[in-house]
Structure formats: C-alpha cells, structure tokens
Structure 1
C-alpha cells in the first residue's frame, strides 16, 4: 500500500518513536523511509533542501542538525533513503517535497502539552497534506 514513507522529525529524542513507527510500516509494506526536518526558527534562510545521506552536503547545515540526523539514521531499523533538511514554514514546504519525491505516507508527532493545544504543527500538516498522515502521540516521560 505505501511505498515511500516520510517522517517529519524534530531535533530531539522525541523523534525516536516516529522513526521506530516508520520502520514498522516499512517492514509491513516493503516501503522506503525518508526523514525531513524544516527549521522554522529563522524563517526561510535557504530555499533548497540538503540531503544528509550525501556526505558532501553535511557542511551546509548546523552541527546540531548533522549530529541528530546521524543518530536518527544509525538507530533506524529501516534504511533511510533521503534525509532532507531545510528552512521555512513546514506546511508551505511539505506539499512540494511530497510531490517531488513521490511520498505516499507522512508520519509526524503531536506533543501532549499546553503549547501544542494552542499551536499545533500537526494540525497545519493535516490541513495541507496531499497524502495519508499518521499522527503519533508524543507523551512526555514515555
């Protein structure tokens, strides 16, 4: 059913459960897994995405981002096909990335905390996604 799964990660250990979930789906459907992180902190600094599965582009992203992606790729039970890093607004950028790479399932997390009830990135993704979405709860302490 699914052939190319995209996991929207954040730079924290909270993304581990998302990567684990993607590996389960990848095994079940014999699908590829890719990762994406879009830093919205500083707006759109650069318009292109960097693929961190290609060693020559690692110098273009901050060290913290490179370290987390290296960790994500190493811990994933499914091979990571593409590891994209970009800047800007995730709900604006994601539809184009999904079309470009032909992703057919998006996995994202949703925190169960005060701020996520007010401002929810997962809700923005649901409203703009062109593919199926799996929203995985991220509960502190679990």
Structure 2
C-alpha cells in the first residue's frame, strides 16, 4: 500500500457516509496520515437556475450550518481538528479537486453507489472526482442499509 500523508474524505453526509469515513480512517491509521473532511453544497441557484423569484440566501445559510454541524460530529469522533473540516459551496468535483490541491492531499476518498445505466452515463460526483484529480482517488462502494 502506498504511504499516504494526507487524506481528504469527500462526504455527502448521508447515512452511508460512515462507511466511507471508516475506510478512510482505517487507511489513515495504517499510514499515519492526516485526515481532512469535506462536504460540498451546491448553491441553490445552481439547482433552480435563478427561476425562483426569491432570496434563497437564508435557506442556503441554514443548509451550510446544518452541514457544518454534521461534519463536526463526524470529525469529533475521529479527533479531526476544525482546520481540517471543510464545508464549501460549489460544484462537488471541482471543489474537492481545489481542496485537495490547496491542502496538499495525496489521496481522496469518496463514496460510490455503483449506479448503472442512465445514472452512470450522466456521471456522478465520484466519477467527476476521479477524472481530473491530481492524486490517487479511492471510491468506496457504499451499501444502502435497507430495512
């Protein structure tokens, strides 16, 4: 296994994120690498294309605060300091690439749902991160816990 020094974990903060985080923590422990966490929120204006005639900044701020709180809880369980917890606005793959370069990351760990067919053709965050990263990328297959 390569000896990584700094691992960036891209989390979507879903229930399955814990699987991705655990795999990254295992690798970090084996290598003695620093672990950083990132969650990227797409601006609401991206989703709605500016078609909604209202100010979405308050809703966007609430989403960011909730994400920061969730990310902090995950980070606290692993002892990851605040300076290595990142909640950013933007396009997920682009922002993860930017953070990886800024933080001098040598491994990005992300979750993959293993989609097929049309979803695969349209692309996913995992696919976007893989293509264009300047370091190694590990896509962790997540399993949805169906009840």
If the TM-score is normalised by the length of the shorter chain, which range does it land in?
Answer: 0.7 to 0.9
TM-score using structure 2 length: 0.74
Structure 1 stretches lacking a partner, 5+ long: 45-58
Aligned match of 1:127: 131
Larger strand percent: 1
Within the candidate set 97, 100, 104, 1:98 is matched to 100
Task: Note the C-alpha offset of 1:119.
Answer: 3.3
| Corresponding residue for residue 50 of structure 2 | none
Greater gyration radius: 2
Flag structure 2 segments of 5+ consecutive residues without an equivalent: 47-60
Alignment RMSD, CA only? 2.3
Residue 85 of structure 1 deviates from its aligned partner by 0.6
CA distance in 1, matches of 2:126, 2:5: 22
Contact 2:20/2:140, CA 8 A, preserved across alignment: yes
SS in 2 for 1:124: helix
| Gap change, CA 1:29 and 1:63, over 3 Å in 2 | same
Task: Count residues with an aligned counterpart.
Answer: 126
Deviation at 1:136, TM superposition (A): 0.3
Match of 1:20 in 2: 22
Distance 2:95 2:75 in 1: 22
- TM-score of the pair, normalised by structure 1: 0.77
- Per-residue CA shift, 1:18-39, capped at 9, x if unaligned? 1111111111101100000111
Assess if the C-alpha contact under 8 Å between 1:12 and 1:68 holds in 2.
no
